[in-house]
Structure 1
């Protein structure tokens, strides 16, 4: 962005009488903005925009400045042909709009609008006017002609608040939250899964317009499956973190005690979620409420039926995604995984050798990491889940702490944490994922996965 910054506002009489700004024979009249001018003002703003250039201020901010700040319009023959608006903060005014109809450009109208704004700001004790313009903006002559100074050494930063004020209450009632940035980079290893989720989920949801132009429909619901402890919940959270969407986890066990029953409570939760503009909705261990139905009637079958109704309705609205996770995908009802309910069924398996090395490195203190044989630890921890590796690493650190406190006369230069100490901790840790579980997982990938 280029910056047109900061000038002391001249006296009202100067602004009103300077011949260079307002010749006597100009065909327009600059007056205060009236609410009846709004439709024409919007038309002028749209006419003044440059194709492909994102405006610094939104139309909503411009309308707010017209209503609560200072705004003027230029009128000729009863038609609005130009407008300027600013919002006031302490002794500074920020120009949020300076627009002219195309046929009135390069005729001094912009300078006249600025003069009209300046004259009105003097009585409000404003001393400086600032403006931010897109770097590609070509219509900057009005500011230069009005003696605005360009500050080249400034940078403009902008961030859109991801949560609207009206969403705060519903999100709080749902127990949802905005997750911190950086969770994606903090997820060590698991590169295959990260690439798959980046390409299938995050990219189409973050670049919706581009995706649609290429015929890609952004996903609305997915299933993550795999052995326990492999990071399915973490992946759901990093999706929310990357998209900057609220994360809402639905706990069926907590809903079971609701007076309207689990099915009714589940229905109400999703109705409440519908009040959010964006959301990543997560249901862990979904097999508890979507298990294969039998011929016998039961309360859980009613819950499964309700969930099967909820998902199509959830999918109708953009800006949301449902992520269900399961350790036992074979136990899910066949209708639950049917095409049209879930876009993808993604396997999240135990980390491979490279991923295990990265995960180990995350839990080893940086000061001793160069002395640790990560490849040996990765080799020894085959079938370890990320949670297993974290447990073994913390176990080694705890044992080193106890040894350091209890030992007397030990060489202070001798490191307490060594490769051998970590290997010993690995030997004392039982892998969550058994060989049988791994075998079933790869069979499930062949039979059920949809990526």
Structure 2
């Protein structure tokens, strides 16, 4: 006689089902349906069954019904109960529920080595060979479109990440610590990785902090929303505006929120007037609420972390405090190669990288655009295409004021040593 009892799911079983599901997986491949899909089906009371042994849940099978068709979203069981026919028993009970409700076809898609695959075969489910599974996820639900438009959010292009030239060290850190966990949350959870909720980027002006924020949103396929303190202050008053905007953000499933020059709203409270203190307090409370939800990331940027209120950078508010400094020689060379490739020009990249020491990505972009504009004008005037030379680029570099002075570079190094949290 089986050591379990199979019964219909009840609303009090939700937490136990999630617990069993967390221990059930046998495949490294991600499931077709996310855990959130299964939870939504359970909350909607779509047909589901559970197995109980000694008053402990040991297995569950969850479905979602669409007309006369149904999808099996989960077949899960505790590891110690595998190989005893429990999966087949769960499926048998679930099939009866579905067919009694008028379902005519039941589908299941899962890796061949996943929990439940053997049970599906034993229950007579046929496999379809020669099929290729395609998927594409919408980055935002139709219900959120009007809200995104109302609050000024945008959907950045996915190719932004690949167009961030140079800065490979910073790119690798952001890719591994921010993008990967957020793009693969269930795998991260299996390894006990807490998803990042907020990150502070600091460094001299023009080093690419805003570009990185846009690129991360594009990489994740999430809406990008930049908060402009001056605009919020004009509409509602700054403290009230921040509170209202974060309440609106809470209604979105996914979003990357960016606040540039965050010291404007998070400056040192000591000696500040009551209004400024209230703004900082409101932002700190908003960050706490923001961190309570999955599927979102707050990116703040500042030119100098020393201008921020000390409470702002405490552990528990920002997961990482990341220095984004001026590119080194290798990164400058990569930036120059990128601009030369776009224009089809040829020049001594090593010479350009050496001559542009202290240049930010914005400085290099300015110098490159200066040369491109000059060549365009000469080509128009002469009627013949004029190609730039290394000397043209070196002259543009000489005429461009580097953003990062030696004093700024020294201060950035000091802040990196004392404030970076990687």
Task: Give yes or no for TM over 0.5.
Answer: yes
Q: Which residue of 1 aligns with 2:226?
A: 249
Q: Could you give the per-residue CA deviations for residues 378-402 of structure 1, whole angstroms, max 9, x where no partner exists?
A: 1111111111111111110110111
Aligned residue number for residue 288 of structure 1: 264
How far apart, in 1, do the equivalents of 2:127 and 2:291 lie?
51
What is the DSSP-based 3-state SS (H/G/I as helix, E as strand, rest coil) of the residue aligned with 2:225? Answer: strand
- The equivalent of 1:390 in structure 2 is 365
Is the deviation greater in 335-344 or in 396-405?
A: 335-344
Helix, strand or coil at the partner of 2:234: coil
Bigger Cα displacement from structure 2, 295-304 vs 51-60: 51-60
Q: Who is 1:20 aligned against?
A: none
Q: Number of paired residues?
A: 377
Distance 1:400 1:169, change over 3 A: same
CA shift, 1:218, in A, is: 2.2
The structural deviation recorded for 1:97 is: 5.5
Change beyond 3 A, Cα 1:422–1:135: same
Q: Which has the larger radius of gyration?
A: 1
In the alignment, the residues of structure 1 paired with residue 315 and residue 108 of structure 2 have an alpha-carbon distance, to the nearest angstrom, of 49
Quote the Cα distance in structure 2 between the aligned partners of 1:210 and 1:104. Answer: 24
CA distance in 2, matches of 1:62, 1:255: 39
The residue number in structure 2 matching 1:234 is 211
1:162 aligns with 2:139: yes
CA RMSD after TM alignment: 4.2
Unpaired runs of at least 5, structure 2:
1-7, 48-60, 76-84
**Aligned CA distance change for structure 1 residues 385 and 95 (closer, same or farther; 3 Å):** same
Pairing partner for 1:416 from 371, 377, 387: 387
Report if the CA contact (8 A) 1:368-1:417 is conserved: no
Residue 151 of structure 1: how far off its partner (Å): 5.2
Q: Which has the higher helix share?
A: 2
Report the Cα distance in structure 1 between the residues aligned to 2:107 and 2:288, rounded to whole angstroms.
47
Distance 2:293 2:231 in 1: 26
Query: Hey, what's the Cα distance between the residues in 2 that align with 1:97 and 1:103?
Result: 16
Cα 1:348–1:140 shift into 2, 3 Å: same
- Does the C-alpha gap of structure 1 residues 366 and 249 become closer, same or farther in structure 2, counting only changes over 3 Å? closer
SS of structure 1 residue aligned to 2:351:
helix
Q: For the structure 1 residues 55 and 199, does the alpha-carbon distance in structure 2 shift closer, same or farther, using more than 3 Å as the test?
A: closer
From the superposition, tell whether residues 402 and 94 of structure 1 become closer, same or farther in structure 2 (CA, over 3 Å): farther
Cα deviation digits, residues 257-281 of structure 1 (max 9, x gap): 124x111111111111111222211
Structure 1 partner of 2:348: 373
TM-score between the two structures when normalised by the length of structure 1: 0.69
Structure 1 position 183, deviation (Å): 1.9
Alignment partner, residue 219 of structure 1: 196
Cα distance, 1:150–1:342 mapped onto 2, change above 3 Å? closer
Structure 1: stretches of 5+ with no match in the other structure: 1-36, 72-81, 122-128
CA distance 1:87–1:262, shift in 2 (3 Å): closer
Query: Is the contact between residue 41 and residue 63 of structure 2 (CA under 8 Å) also seen in structure 1?
Result: no
CA distance in 1, matches of 2:155, 2:379: 40
Matches within 5 A, 1:140-151: 150=128
The Cα shift of 1:209 comes to: 3.8
What is the match of residue 255 of structure 2? 279
SS at match of 2:158: coil
Structure-2 residue corresponding to 1:353: 329
* Partner Cα separation in structure 2 for residue 296 and residue 104 of structure 1: 64
Give the CA deviation at 1:362.
1.8
C-alpha separation between the residues in 2 aligned to 1:201 and 1:84?
33
1:193 paired to 2:177: no
CA distance in 1, matches of 2:263, 2:142: 35
TM-score, length basis structure 2: 0.74
Once residues 343 and 362 of structure 2 are traced to their aligned partners in structure 1, the CA distance between those partners, rounded to angstroms, is 23
In 2 relative to 1, CA 418–297 (structure 1 residues): closer, same or farther, beyond 3 Å? same
Counterpart of 1:302 in structure 2 is 278
